[in-house]
């Protein structure tokens, strides 16, 4: 894979991740608004809004539920890309330098380093191992 193709694929993955998160927040907000509209009570010519009773669910619950599912979908997307491109090179296993670089990137992600820094760190470790000829 040449560098241009890799950068285009990385940009597409990043854009897809943020679109999924953004869509999850928007869908959750729409569900919450719809839930609040359902809680309005019409009496004659005046419209009054009543707060949900204690037994009703939290009004922000649809938003948080959709956001949680979109977060999970994002993790699954990134995991699938990791499994297919980082571990395998065609039908064979990738070289050890790539596996170590990916491992460093995943470790950086676990300690909550920004995604771009994780990718650059993984690429730098992999390039460093290949350049030195250690593996």
Region 88-109: mean pLDDT is 85
At 3-14, the pLDDT tens digits run: 788 778 777 877
Q: At what angle do helices 61-81 and 3-38 cross, to 10 degrees?
A: 160
At 112-122, the pLDDT tens digits run: 888 889 889 99
Contact 94, 86 (CB under 8 A): yes
Q: Are strands 40-43 and 46-49 parallel, antiparallel or unpaired?
A: antiparallel
Q: How far apart are CA 104 and CA 99, in angstroms?
A: 9
At 27-86, the pLDDT tens digits run: 766 766 666 665 554 444 555 455 444 444 555 566 677 777 777 777 777 777 777 777
Q: Is the pLDDT of residue 107 over 50?
A: yes
At 24-43, the pLDDT tens digits run: 667 766 766 666 665 554 44
User: Phi/psi at 23 (nearest 5 deg)?
Assistant: -65, -40
pLDDT band at 131 (very low <50, low <70, confident <90, very high): very high
Question: What's the pLDDT score for residue 33?
Answer: 67
pTM above 0.85, yes or no: no
Segments making up each domain of the chain, as ranges: 70-134
Contact 25, 63 (CB under 8 A): yes
State the DSSP string of 35-100.
HHHHTEEEETTEEEE-PPPTTSPPTTHHHHHHHHHHHHHHHHHHHHHIIIIISEETTEEPPHHHHH
Q: Is the pLDDT of residue 127 over 90?
A: yes
Question: What's the pLDDT score for residue 46?
Answer: 52
Which residue(s) pair with 43 in the sheet?
46
């Amino acid at each position: 894979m040449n560098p241009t193709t890799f950068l285009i694929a990385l940009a597409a993955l990043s854009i897809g991740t943020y679109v999924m998160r953004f869509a999850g927040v928007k869908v959750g907000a729409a569900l919450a608004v719809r839930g609040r509209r359902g809680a309005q009570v019409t009496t004659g010519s005046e419209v009054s809004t009543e707060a949900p009773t204690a037994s009703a669910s939290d009004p922000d619950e649809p938003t948080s539920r959709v956001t949680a599912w979109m977060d999970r979908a994002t993790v699954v997307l990134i995991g699938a890309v990791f499994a297919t491109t980082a571990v395998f090179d065609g039908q064979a296993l990738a070289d050890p330098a790539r596996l170590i670089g990916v491992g460093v990137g995943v470790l950086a992600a676990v300690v909550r380093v920004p995604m771009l820094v994780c990718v650059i760190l993984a690429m730098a470790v992999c390039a460093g191992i290949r350049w030195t000829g250690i593996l």
